[in-house]
Amino acid sequence: MTLPKMLRDAKILAQQELAPRVFFLVVEAPDIAQAAEPGQFVQLRIPLGEFILRRPVGVAAVDRKKGSVAFIYRVVGKGTKALAALMPGEVVNILGPLGHGFHMDYEHPLIVGGGMGLSPLLYYAAAMQKKGDVLIGGRSEEEVFWKDLFDELCGEVFISTDDGSLGFKGFTTEYLPKILEDHKYDAIIVCGPDVMMRGIARIAREHGIPCEVSLEKRMACGLGACLSCSIDTTEGKRKKVCKDGPVFSAEEVFL
């Protein structure tokens, strides 16, 4: 289905630091709130002349009644630093919703994520209305602050940390086979670092479970026009992450 794309200025309703350098941004955008599907993203531009390219940011939450859309982003450079300095009442410019999101017809998916990859998964978990469990990975307890956000949205919440400061000690790829010993899932939905997605997709394949991945790629237009986000697929076709994705079947792409 092709959804309408809106280009609009959106007033900032709230901006909160969730963890060091990680911000939760809520903007007023009723049309985008109505149309956005889990896994889709917007191109976001802050109103500063020197930043020309828009930045892709996954939709983390929508409130259709209030007409608001939320994003979670990490401050990594000048653009996101300037974004973090904006106050409620100021505006950002957004284009979206863009791309294709996750399939929503699973009965009991396992959601797996690490780092900022958990942001679009938050919206997916909310839309699945507690049908899913989640496995959250991070280096340490400080990095899995996401637990509080997913607690209300998922059945079981599994945590792994590299240093063992919270939950299972080790990587998500080490924990997942243990979880699958006594839990059955009809899909695994993953977004995170490439190495995580590659490992999780391999385990999903070994267990015969369909797996969807959400790819992150440098983008320019976000509309399928400039080819800067093209990838090779296992079918031998080139596809565009911004238009054909960012969500793909793990079997379709090279991870």
Q: Enumerate binding residues for ligand FES (CB under 6 A).
A: 219-222, 224-229, 240, 242
Taking the C-alpha atoms of residue 101 and residue 208, their distance in angstroms, rounded to an integer, is: 22
Element spanning 157, H or E: strand 157-161
End-to-end CA distance of the chain: 26
Looking at the Cβ atoms of 15 and 228, the one nearer to ligand FES is 228
Nearest distance from C-beta of residue 82 to ligand FES, angstroms: 22
Nearest distance from C-beta of residue 231 to ligand FES, angstroms: 10
In a 13 Å sphere around the CA of 3, the CA atoms on its Cβ side amount to: 23
Nearest distance from C-beta of residue 240 to ligand FES, angstroms: 4
Looking at the Cβ atoms of 34 and 228, the one nearer to ligand FES is 228
Nearest distance from C-beta of residue 59 to ligand FES, angstroms: 17
Please state the φ and ψ torsions of residue 171, each to the nearest 5 degrees.
Answer: -85, 160
- Closest among 253, 150, 153, 237 to 194, alpha carbons compared: 253
In a 13 Å sphere around the CA of 249, the CA atoms on its Cβ side amount to: 8
List of residues 6+ apart from 120 with CB closer than 8 A: 38, 39, 40, 41, 58, 59, 60, 101, 191, 214
Looking at the Cβ atoms of 37 and 244, the one nearer to ligand FES is 244
Looking at the Cβ atoms of 76 and 227, the one nearer to ligand FES is 227
Taking the C-alpha atoms of residue 134 and residue 56, their distance in angstroms, rounded to an integer, is: 24
Nearest distance from C-beta of residue 104 to ligand FES, angstroms: 24
Query: Hey, what amino acid is at 122?
Result: L
- Three-state DSSP class for residue 20: coil
Looking at the Cβ atoms of 146 and 248, the one nearer to ligand FES is 248
Looking at the Cβ atoms of 126 and 229, the one nearer to ligand FES is 229
Nearest distance from C-beta of residue 217 to ligand FES, angstroms: 8
- Three-state DSSP class for residue 193: coil
Nearest distance from C-beta of residue 43 to ligand FES, angstroms: 9
Taking the C-alpha atoms of residue 95 and residue 32, their distance in angstroms, rounded to an integer, is: 9
Looking at the Cβ atoms of 103 and 217, the one nearer to ligand FES is 217
Query: How many C-beta neighbours within 10 Å does residue 1 have?
Result: 4
